[in-house]
Structure 1
Amino acid sequence: MKTSIIKVWSSGVLLVVMGCNSSKKSSDNTPNTDVHFVLSDTGQDVFYDDDGEVISKPEKDEEYYGQDAQYTGVSSAYKDNEDGTVTDLNTGLMWQKTPDNNRHNFYDAFTYVDELEIGGYTDWRLPTIKELYSLVNSNGELNPKDLSESKPYIDTNYFDFKYDKRMPYAGQYWSSTKYVKGPIQNIEIEGAFGFNFADGHIKAYETGLYYNGEGGVRNPGNLIRAVRGKEKVYGVNDFEANTDGTVTDKATGLMWQQTDNGQTYNWKAALNYAKNSTLAGYSDWRLPNTKELQSIVDYDKKTIPAIDESVFTCTNKDSWFWTSTTQGDFKYTACYIAFGKAYSKDNSAATTYYDWHGAGAQRSDPKSGQVEDYVLESVNAADSIRINNYVRLVRNVN
């Protein structure tokens, strides 16, 4: 496929969007390619099989074609301003370079950013979960037994990051996005989303309140990386339902499958389904990477599924959707986005699952096999395992 480049100037920042020419000749349904925000690539540049083994780059007629590393989008681009701030040249957002490495209660976090002054700026705020996720580098990997062999899910050439040596997996950072679809965990508590730059997951964390507003919930608190920049721009979708079973997001220049086909697949089969699809006459469909799929989550909607149902349909409201991105800590798993409840239970011995992480969470599932092959002994929360998940196809607009 021939690659095209769309360049748009926005607020003094050059936004570059990579696109692929379609094999569809008709121009009856040419989408608007205006770009409102740029999705930087995940950075994943290694190919993996079901077992998490590194493989050579697959050709289109080979297995595992179409995974994250197959497609290179807009590379992350940062500028260290040498005043304690870092500017994302793709999004225009400015970030706190060095966190204070203290854990804050969710509501105290707002006070912290309100009082923050870095680089002479005082208009810092908590990022939304989509803004926070824009910083993700999917080449991360945690080895809790040897942190020298670990790499956080963020570009440490620009952003400072410190592992907690007592709990290396505890790298959770707050977003400002509360979970509004219901309580989380097994004791009906209020949650707010964060991303863990140590182990590479989105989940809803305890705010310190019960869902009914009462206090008294134990919460360990999360870290903070403050942001500044115009609100309600990055991550705000501009959907247009087409007449051919597709939806164009004019905010990102991506076209989506409007309704999933109602079938579930293991990861390899999902990749295969995507590369062979000719939906609406296009032949360049693929499985979305994590940033692309997370970009269409509706975190403000109060009902499940966590997607704009005025333009999209989930055949199963309680559904998880595959991405093309391998999870770095456990490379025999691939990431999914939960558009339905993100289930876990108290521990591996428990029998009841709850909406532990919240619809809109990013977790990971084994790429193949049987559920019973992956039952692990755990005294902590144990995620539900499905292995066969749904697919929502994506392609780049011309």
Structure 2
Amino acid sequence: MGCDNSSEASSPKICGENCSADQDPTSPESPDGTENDGTENDGTENDGTENDGTENDGTENDGTENDGTENCSSSDPALFQVARWPMPGSTGEDHSVQYRVDEEVTHDEITGLDWQRQLASVSLTDEDAAEYCAELSLGGHCDWRLPTRVEGVSLLELQRKPPSFDPGAFPDIDGELVLWSGNPERLFRLGSDGGLRVRSPTSAGPDRVRCVRGGGVPDSDGSRYELTPDLARDLGTGLTWTRATSKQTYADAASMCAGLQLDGGGFRVPSLKELHTLIFDSKPNGPWIDQSAFPSFPAAVSGHIIFWTSSLEATDSNSAWMLDFATGTAEATSVTATFTLESTLHVLCVRSRP
């Protein structure tokens, strides 16, 4: 077949053998169809007989030698320390976590993370925990790693009485889980009550480990926030934050945020899981927040920068969760002898995704 390059042609340009797109179909050098009329390439010599699948029937490459467990390396947890998933709706309540569960792996439909469903069969020291995940082969994957702080916190369902995790997705919650902190000298421990604590390897005993894989990737230009003079919109979570802070009691914090009229209002006190997304694990010291986005963030007093959250303890409506930006830890007021709902603590206000 020749080439039809005319603008009047109703069908796309079609080229046969030895034909270029700019060739004149009327040229003597152009094939006229006689020598390439389909006779020599009528399918007889290539009728599938010589390549009928017999020699490549999958026997030599049946997946046995490449089942996903070879030539695999664990990802660096530092790439996954920022939340890149949608957060709760306008009420501020923690969203219902949606899981897809099989025998070995629990997949979180919201975060996109795959979790080891059963805890490691033995307790591991800090030094051994990362190695255990890096060497784990599970569910056809071998790129497992220790979860970051924000990934571990994403599992919390604080409306549940402890353990604050979905028992259908994670049937063996027991003790504290090891979480990567960005600092090799200390790891976080996420308690079954929702508390987040830091212990140094020298003082911490063995703990249970639940490995994770998958997750987002860093933005190509490194940007995280879309800034205005008063507000910072997190491009990963969709949450919009006030850049200025204040100090209030628990009740006054709720009134203050609700009364803000910045950019149309709609602000409230963040939940514990929402406030956790602001923690900036890469910083060697507190305050653990991106101070280019929050330049007037308060300094530590006696080693602490404690903020209110809207989250109440499931077992005590007179106790609220607090987050310390100097240490990255979270605790409820009922656990401390220092704070009550009448205490004056720092506050940031937040607005959910549209």
1:160 aligns with 2:171: yes
| Alpha-carbon shift at residue 91 of structure 1 (Å) | 1.3
Q: Which structure would you say has the larger Rg?
A: 2
Deviations 1:177-225 (A, max 9, x none): 1448xxxxxxxxx42112112x2101112312xxxxxxxxx43122111
Contact 2:233 2:241 in 1 (8 A): yes
- Take 1:92 and 1:360, find their aligned partners in 2: how far apart are those partners? 24
1:266 maps to what in 2? Answer: 249
Give 1:241's match in structure 2, choosing from 216, 220, 227.
227
Q: State the SS of the aligned residue for 1:220.
A: coil
Give 1:385's match in structure 2, choosing from 336, 339, 349.
339
1:296 aligns with 2:278: yes
2:331 maps to what in 1? Answer: 363
Identify, as 1 or 2, the structure richer in strand.
1
1:75 aligns with 2:29: no
Contact 2:226 2:233 in 1 (8 A): yes
1:223 aligns with 2:208: yes
Counterpart of 2:166, as a letter, is D
1:93 maps to what in 2? Answer: 113
Contact 2:130 2:145 in 1 (8 A): yes
1:204 maps to what in 2? Answer: 198
Counterpart of 2:201, as a letter, is T
1:323–1:270 distance in 2 versus 1, CA, 3 Å: same
Contact 1:116 1:124 in 2 (8 A): yes
- Take 1:391 and 1:225, find their aligned partners in 2: how far apart are those partners? 32
- Take 1:271 and 1:237, find their aligned partners in 2: how far apart are those partners? 30
- Take 2:319 and 2:228, find their aligned partners in 1: how far apart are those partners? 34
1:191–1:73 distance in 2 versus 1, CA, 3 Å: closer
Q: State the SS of the aligned residue for 1:331.
A: strand
| Alpha-carbon shift at residue 390 of structure 1 (Å) | 1.0
1:287 aligns with 2:298: no
Contact 2:88 2:352 in 1 (8 A): no
Structure 1 residues 11-26: aligned runs within 5 Å: none
Deviations 1:149-196 (A, max 9, x none): xx4111111112244xxxxxxx2101121448xxxxxxxxx4211211
| Alpha-carbon shift at residue 246 of structure 1 (Å) | 0.8
Contact 2:92 2:270 in 1 (8 A): no
- Take 1:285 and 1:100, find their aligned partners in 2: how far apart are those partners? 41
The runs of 5 or more residues in structure 2 that have no matched partner are 1-82
Deviations 1:44-86 (A, max 9, x none): xxxxxxxxxxxxxxxxxxxxxx9xxx44564311101x24101
Contact 1:178 1:193 in 2 (8 A): no
1:176 aligns with 2:187: no
1:90–1:397 distance in 2 versus 1, CA, 3 Å: closer
Deviations 1:307-342 (A, max 9, x none): 1111103452122111110023443211111112xx
TM-score normalised by structure 1 residue count: 0.61
Contact 1:247 1:258 in 2 (8 A): yes
Counterpart of 1:322, as a letter, is W
Q: State the SS of the aligned residue for 2:345.
A: coil
1:153–1:129 distance in 2 versus 1, CA, 3 Å: same
Higher relative contact order (CA 8 A, sep 6+): 1
- Take 2:213 and 2:349, find their aligned partners in 1: how far apart are those partners? 33
| Alpha-carbon shift at residue 101 of structure 1 (Å) | 4.7
Structure 1 residues 122-133: aligned runs within 5 Å: 122-133=142-153
| Percent identical | 24
1:324 aligns with 2:328: no
| Alpha-carbon shift at residue 120 of structure 1 (Å) | 2.3
Contact 1:152 1:161 in 2 (8 A): no
- Take 2:294 and 2:173, find their aligned partners in 1: how far apart are those partners? 40
1:394 maps to what in 2? Answer: 350
Counterpart of 1:202, as a letter, is L
1:315–1:111 distance in 2 versus 1, CA, 3 Å: closer
1:330–1:221 distance in 2 versus 1, CA, 3 Å: farther
Counterpart of 2:118, as a letter, is T
1:179–1:115 distance in 2 versus 1, CA, 3 Å: closer
| Alpha-carbon shift at residue 135 of structure 1 (Å) | 0.7
2:186 maps to what in 1? Answer: 191
For the aligned residues, what is the CA RMSD? 2.7
- Take 1:205 and 1:140, find their aligned partners in 2: how far apart are those partners? 26
1:106 aligns with 2:126: yes
- Take 1:109 and 1:74, find their aligned partners in 2: how far apart are those partners? 30
1:252 aligns with 2:237: yes
Q: State the SS of the aligned residue for 1:293.
A: helix
Structure 1 residues 302-313: aligned runs within 5 Å: 302-313=284-295
- Take 1:332 and 1:202, find their aligned partners in 2: how far apart are those partners? 20
Aligned residues: 265
- Take 2:95 and 2:223, find their aligned partners in 1: how far apart are those partners? 18
